[in-house]
Structure 1
Amino acid sequence: MTFEILPLEPADIPECFAAAQKAFVEFSRLIFKPDHLSTESAELLIKSRIQGFNNRNLQSRNFKAVDCETGTIIAAARWRVYPEDELLIKSVDEIVEAKLQPRVPELREDVARAFYTMLNQGKREIAGIEKDKDGRTVKLMRRVELESLFTHPSYQRRGAARALLQRCIQEADLLGLVVYLEATQDGKPLYENCGFEAIRTHTFEAEKFGGEGAHQYTIHDMVS
């Protein structure tokens, strides 16, 4: 199978959403109550993602890997470029609240809120470069932040995710920026094989918030 890397378009969002649901099964079970979202909830989330895509600024990058024979989207990635130090305008609570939108009936709100709070606090601790007089992080370092990377389960281990990741790394190299990302246990081997170093591992105990199991997420970076 051969594939090509192309820019992701708004019209691709429904197909990407379906592929991501299959790729992120463990995450979906963590955040949502049943294994599968209702049609109504899926449509609402897709609509929200399309709106978010259309509202993204010039710092955002969205790419897809497409099967050259079938035209199927087999993988996708999203990253954001911060060419200057990022001044934090919103609190962790405000950022997390935005992540919970739109609320669907299947959402485990307590679990999702605690999970996203953990990740955002971790980012501020690792990437923070300036604090205010109260000790709160107010500025994050210049970086390229990989926000999402997935491969459809039927097409894994064929090089698509690595090719997308390399595109992200190349942009960071050209700009002289650090690549920052958060990895699941499944994604960790790919990142480490591509030269990323684990800085910190978070263990999220979902049972404390009404969820199930313990889940590990590792913060990585690569200095260009």
Structure 2
Amino acid sequence: MTFDILPTESADIPECFAAAQKAFAEFNRLLFKPDTISTESAELLIKSRIQGFNNKNPQSRNFKAVDCETGTIIAAARWRVYPEDELLIKSVEDIVEAKLQPRVPELRENVVRAFYTMLNQGKREVTGIEQDNDGRAVKLMRRVELESLFTHPSYQRKGAAKALLQRCIQEADTLGLVVYLEATKDGQPLYEKCGFEAIRTQTFEAERFGGEGAHQYTHVPGV
């Protein structure tokens, strides 16, 4: 199987969303109830993602892996470039509130709020390079932050995710930056094969907030 790595376009968002729903099925069960969200909610989420994509944040990079034979999007990645130390303007609470938008009926709000609070606080502790008098991070290190990487389940282990990750790493190398990411237990083997080393693993006890099970996420601050 051959594939091309190409920039993602706004028109690709619905197909990427559908592929991500399958790739992140376990994660979605953590954040949403029931397992499958309604058509109306899916349309609202897709519309929100298209609006975000069209804002053209100059720091954002979006790429897709496309099957050369069928034209199907088999994998996609998104990262953000921080060429200078990032001065924190928004609080963790503000960032988490944005993650709750749009509020679809299936959203497990308590779970989502607690999960992203844990993740963002962990990131600030790992990548923070300057703190205030209370020990809270006010500045994060220069980096390329991998925000999302997924492969449609039907095309996994074909090298698409690795190719997208390598594109991210290449940009970071060109700019003289490290790559920061947060890995799930399933995704960690790929990152380790590409030279990443975990620095901290956090366990999210979803049952405490009305969810199900325990989920591990590892902070990886560079390669």
Work out whether the TM-score is over 0.5: yes
Contact 1:195 1:222 in 2 (8 A): no
Q: Give the TM-score normalised by structure 1.
A: 0.98
Contact 2:126 2:221 in 1 (8 A): no
Query: Is residue 143 of structure 2 the alignment partner of residue 126 of structure 1?
Result: no
Query: Is residue 34 of structure 2 the alignment partner of residue 34 of structure 1?
Result: yes
Percent of aligned pairs sharing the same letter = 86
Structure 2 distance, partners of 1:28, 1:190, is 21
Q: Describe how 1:10-159 pairs up with structure 2 within 5 A.
A: 10-159=10-159
Q: Describe how 1:190-205 pairs up with structure 2 within 5 A.
A: 190-205=190-205
Structure 2 distance, partners of 1:176, 1:192, is 20
Computed over aligned residues only, the root mean square deviation of the Cα atoms, in angstroms, reads 0.6
Gaps of 5+ in 2: none
Is the partner of 1:182 in helix, strand or coil? Answer: strand
Structure 2 distance, partners of 1:143, 1:222, is 8
Structure 2 distance, partners of 1:127, 1:117, is 15
**Structure 1 equivalent of residue 218 of structure 2:** 218
Structure 2 distance, partners of 1:203, 1:35, is 22
Letter in 2 for 1:120: N
Q: Give the TM-score normalised by structure 2.
A: 0.99
More off after superposition, 50-59 vs 30-39: 50-59
Contact 2:3 2:160 in 1 (8 A): yes
How much has 1:65 moved relative to structure 2?
Answer: 0.1
Structure 2 distance, partners of 1:56, 1:206, is 34
How much has 1:147 moved relative to structure 2?
Answer: 0.2
**Structure 2 equivalent of residue 188 of structure 1:** 188
Structure 1 distance, partners of 2:154, 2:31, is 23
How much has 1:56 moved relative to structure 2?
Answer: 3.4
**Structure 2 equivalent of residue 176 of structure 1:** 176
Structure 2 distance, partners of 1:196, 1:222, is 7
Contact 2:14 2:46 in 1 (8 A): yes
**Structure 1 equivalent of residue 161 of structure 2:** 161
Is the partner of 1:186 in helix, strand or coil? Answer: coil
Gaps of 5+ in 1: none
Structure 2 distance, partners of 1:194, 1:110, is 35
Structure 2 distance, partners of 1:186, 1:55, is 31
Is the partner of 1:197 in helix, strand or coil? Answer: coil
Q: Over residues 104-156 of structure 1, what are the superposed CA-to-partner deviations in whole Å (9 max), with x where a residue is unaligned?
A: 00000000000000000000000001111222211000000000000000000
Structure 2 distance, partners of 1:59, 1:94, is 20
Structure 2 distance, partners of 1:65, 1:23, is 14
Contact 1:144 1:178 in 2 (8 A): yes
